Amino acid sequence: MRVVGALGWVALAVGAVGMLVGMPWLGSRPRLTAGILIVVGLLGIGMSVQG
């Protein structure tokens, strides 16, 4: 579960930076993609804390 937690932190960081900067490589809707990454990151971190 440590891998899930680490991936969660990475997804959260990429999503947060994407929200702040608005990264064009996140696709046609960068804010939506960044929001999804943040949610996935939080879920991954939560799963690693529980497990």
**What digits encode the pLDDT tens for the residues 1-51?**
788 889 999 999 988 988 888 767 667 888 888 999 999 999 999 988 886
Number of other CB atoms surrounding residue 9 within 10 Å: 15
What does pTM read for this prediction? 0.78
What pLDDT does 26 receive? Answer: 65
CB contact at 8 A, 8 and 42: yes
Decide: helix, strand or coil at residue 18. helix
* Residue 27, both tokens: 């696709």
φ, ψ dihedrals at 5, nearest 5°: -65, -45
